Every structure is written in structure tokens, then in C-alpha cells.
Amino acid sequence: MAFGTIAGVTAILMAAAAMVSAADYPKAETVWCAVASRCSDAYVKCPAECASTTTPNAKGKVCHVNCDHPQCKSECKKRKPNCDAPGSACYDPRFVGGDGRVFYFHGKSGEVFSLVSDPSFQINGRFIGHRPVGRPRDFTWIQSLGLISKTHRFTLEATRAAVWDGEVDHLKFAYNGQDLSISEGSLSAWQSPDGDVRAERVSSRNSVIVTIKDKVEILVNVVPVTKEDDRIHKYRVPENDCFAHLEVQFRFFKLSPRVEGVLGRTYQPDFENNVARPGVAMPVMGGEDKYRTSDLVSAECGACIFSETEDLKQGNGAVDFPTLDCTRGAAAGYGIVCRK
């Protein structure tokens, strides 16, 4: 066979392979980066291997765009909390604010604090903790979350365990005061009668994504205080409690400029983090008194702004994108998924 013929056949086979490969993947979504981000007003296409920002595959990856990265590229990521990303609250507890800066908020064991308070929704967190003899304050972790909107009260918590067993589900749910069962199994899901609140298991147990429609998506993982954690941080946890707690990452769809809360305040346009300065190893942010609330589903606190009657569209300056079916991510650096 002549060289030209071989080359021609090879080119045809390569083209056919490329066509088959492209057909194997769904049409890629495009993510729009907000004007305020480093990739201002850029449209970024998702990779072919993770063409969408959602997936039915519990172990699959989804499209993610960091709009504050110099290269303005998309990448594939898993659907569990990233404790180093904006909007996260993990460990004892270590927050990453909307400004991307790390801070700590200790709170107090057994008490509840407003993490995010906006006119149309609020998220509270209950802290558990342990105070070794001779220590002036509690070591604390976020044990449960309470989500409040006009007609919804949804709670999830990490149940207590003496010894951690990853084959046991440690998540407990309730909706409007009634216990709620979400069957174990990857992608098992529940939603409120009006569809505005949805909870979907990401894996068979101990991981879930909770969404309040048009407001927030919350990635949650239940983890214990491990023996290695105990050794490194000198927690001195008792033998009868592994302090099962939540790792959380919030991705907000819209927020008002007046947003409050331990984490929420870091999304205010004029917020200045005065504690996360160079040389400060553990920047601790206060606010216990103004963010303390009586219950997981109580909207009352000194600085809380949630209202049963206020509408975000009625003049409070909420960030919204009415011309696109888009949602904003966990910070100004995250993208808006455009489904035009």
C-alpha cells in the first residue's frame, strides 16, 4: 500500500475516533464569571469529561471554575466539601470567608450561633465541645445545622458516637419539626412538597448536599475527631465520645449586601477582615454575643436580619441575574452556571 494511502486511512481513523470520543460526552455547559472576579465577565467552557456542574454519579466529578484564578480555567472536582475553599467551615471550627481569608470562631459548647443571616433565609449552627482540665475555653466543632426560610425549617445533625464506624450513618434529619428519613444509598434524595428544599445523599452514608432553591447549596460531610487529630491538637477527648461533627461548604446563589452571621458577614461588599493579618497564626473572630441564638431554627439574634415577610426583590439590593438562568458560587471568585 502506498504511503499516501496509509496516511489517508490513518487520518480517517483518527477523525472517526475523535467523532466517537466527542459523542461519548454530553454537551459542555458554560460558566460565566462575575464582573467583580479576576476573570471579569469571562465565559468558561466546562471540560468534556465533566461537562456539567451536576452529576447523577456519586463518585463522579462536576465542573468547577475558580473565577479568581489567573488562568480562568475550568476543572473537574468531587461533590464533597473543600475545607480550603471560600464558604467552608471545618475542623474546630476553621472558616474560610467570602474574601478567601481563614479565620476561627470558637463559640461555646452546647450553644447555637447564626452562621448566615439574610433577609430571605438563615443558617444556624450548634456547637459541641470539650474543655480539658486547666484550659480556659472549649474546643468546639459544628455538630448540626438549622436552615430557615419563609415556610421551611430543615435541620441536619451528626449523631453522637463513642467510637467512629464509617459503615454506620451518622446523619439525622428533620423537617418542620418532624423527623425525616432519607434512605441510605448513593443519590437517595428528599424534597419538600413545594420542591424548594432538597437533600441528596452524595454517598451511601455520612455525606449529603442540601439546597434551598435560588438561595444556597450546602455540601456536608460527617467526620470524627481522629486519634491523630487528638494527638496533634492535644484535645484530650474522652474515650466515650469521638465528637462526630460536620465539615461544611456553602455555595450561595444570591446574597444581600446586608448579609450577617459568623460567616455571612465576610460576604458584605465593604467587609474588612481585621484579624487575618500576616504573622497571626490563628486569627480568631469574635461576635458570640451578637450571633448567639436560642435554637437551631430560631431567627432571633442581636445581628440577625432574616424576615418572614421581606422579599429580596423589594429594594434590598440583592445580587441577582434576571437575564440569565444562573447561580453564583461560594464567593465572588466562583462562577455562574449559564443554561441559556
Q: DSSP letters along 175-241, please?
A: ETTEEE---SSTT-EEE-TTSSEEEEESSSSSEEEEEETTTEEEEEEEE---HHHHHHHT----TT-
Residue 336 pLDDT greater than 50, yes or no: no
Instruction: State pLDDT tens for residues 308-325.
Output: 876 544 444 554 423 233
User: What pLDDT was estimated at residue 171?
Assistant: 98
Domain ranges within the chain, ordered by starting residue: 88-309
User: What pLDDT was estimated at residue 33?
Assistant: 86
Q: What is the mean pLDDT of the chain?
A: 83
Instruction: State pLDDT tens for residues 127-137.
Output: 999 898 888 88
pLDDT more than 70, % of the chain: 81
Strands 139-148 and 153-158: antiparallel
Instruction: State pLDDT tens for residues 215-242.
Output: 999 999 999 999 999 999 999 999 999 9
Please name the helix (run of DSSP H) or strand (run of DSSP E) that holds residue 6, with its range, or none.
helix 3-23
User: What pLDDT was estimated at residue 317?
Assistant: 52
User: What pLDDT was estimated at residue 279?
Assistant: 74
Q: Nearest 5°: CA angle at 63, between 61 and 68?
A: 130
Is the model more confident about 158 or about 253? 158
Where is average pLDDT lowest: 7-16, 81-90, 161-170?
7-16
User: What pLDDT was estimated at residue 36?
Assistant: 67
Q: Nearest 5°: CA angle at 65, between 88 and 120?
A: 50
What residue type is 312 in one-letter code?
Answer: L
Predicted TM-score (pTM) of this structure: 0.76
- Residue 94 and residue 87 in contact, taking contact as beta carbons nearer than 8 Å: no
User: What pLDDT was estimated at residue 231?
Assistant: 93
Q: Nearest 5°: CA angle at 173, between 171 and 178?
A: 150
Instruction: State pLDDT tens for residues 91-136.
Output: 999 999 999 999 999 999 999 999 999 999 999 999 999 898 888 8
User: What pLDDT was estimated at residue 57?
Assistant: 65
User: Cell numbers at residue 315, please?
Assistant: 429594594
**172 Cβ contact partners less than 8 Å away, ≥ 6 residues apart:** 156, 157, 158, 159, 179
Residue 23 pLDDT greater than 70, yes or no: no
User: What pLDDT was estimated at residue 252?
Assistant: 92
Is the model more confident about 254 or about 180? 180
pLDDT more than 90, % of the chain: 59
DSSP one-letter string for 259-314: -BSTTGGGGSTT---SS--TT-SS-B---HHHHEESSTT----TT----SS--TTT
Residue 3 pLDDT greater than 70, yes or no: no
DSSP state of 151: S
User: Which residues are bridge partners to 30 per DSSP?
Assistant: 45, 338
User: Cell numbers at residue 184, please?
Assistant: 441510605
- Residue 26 and residue 57 in contact, taking contact as beta carbons nearer than 8 Å: no
